[in-house]
Amino acid sequence: MGMRIHPSLLSADFANFQRDIESIPSADGLHLDVMDYHFVPNLTFGLPVVEAIRKVTDHHIDMHLMIDDPDRWAPAYAEAGCESVTFHVEACKAPVRLARELRKLGARASMGLKPQTDIAPFEDILPELDMILLMTVEPGFGGQKFLDIMLPKVRRTRELVKKSGLDIWIQVDGGVSESTIDQCIEAGADTFVAGSAVFSADDPDGMIRTLRERAEELSAHCH
Ligand SMILES: O=C(CO)[C@@H](O)[C@H](O)COP(=O)(O)O
């Protein structure tokens, strides 16, 4: 199983995105959090900033839309050339239709779940998805404590994906660090968002390599 580390730019310097992106060449993807003050109690940036970032990097751009009405706003991120786009199912009116539209536009379609949202009701729509994002903190802010109570959901999601036989990435987002990544790997995650753990490290790029080596080593034993 491929293991991916996606640093979250929420913990980067908002006045120096390009500099901070260039400091992490080892990243498997850049996780960009769009927040709208409605779906979550925080505000970050939107499409114009993402388009500007697209111009200065060839990295896989992993959009995480923590916004109301993703049915309306998400396709533009795929059109802008982002490789994956996560919409939150709690805010989405027509997840199947949106996932199909994202794929048609060339992006990986991803469904995000807040901590209290169960995966079971969505089993039938797995064939429409390329990734499932499981929040391991309440969405809205970086630097929060990892909720280990989410691990059974990661496990259940891995079981459903395994049963489906589909190649769907399972992303964990929130509080992922050197001290919590092992539990996520054991539970079945393969894509790891790390914001503060990467950008508060003395060597952000080294931290990405450390996390990925750990993930690769441990997953070889677990899965
Ligand atoms: O989506 C979010 C927060 O809502 C995350 O992407 C955070 O940015 C992760 O930051 P850390 O918990 O790793 O500091």
69 is catalytic: no
The DSSP bridge partners found for residue 35 are 66
Q: Are strands 30-35 and 191-194 parallel, antiparallel or unpaired?
A: unpaired
Q: Strand, helix or coil at 89?
A: helix
Which one has a higher pLDDT value, 167 or 1? Answer: 167
Ligand 1 pocket (Cβ < 6 Å) reads 8, 10-11, 31, 33, 64, 137, 139-144, 173-176, 193-197
> Over the Cα atoms of the chain, what is R_g?
16
Catalytic residue among 33, 62, 130, 190: 33
Tokens of 153: 């959901």
Domain boundaries, the chain: 4-222
The pLDDT assigned to 14 comes to 98
* Entry pTM: 0.98
Query: ipTM of the assembly?
Result: 0.98
Q: How far is the CA of 107 from the centre of ligand 1 (A)?
A: 22
Q: Which of 39, 144, 180 to mutate to test the pocket of ligand 1 (most atoms within 8 A of CB)?
A: 144
pLDDT in tens, 50-100: 999 999 999 999 999 999 999 999 999 999 999 999 999 999 999 999 999
33 is catalytic: yes
**Check whether domain 4-222 has CATH 3.20.20.70, yes or no:** yes
List all residues 6 or more positions away from 206 whose beta carbon is below 8 Å from its beta carbon: none
Q: How far is the CA of 175 from the centre of ligand 1 (A)?
A: 7
The pLDDT assigned to 223 comes to 64
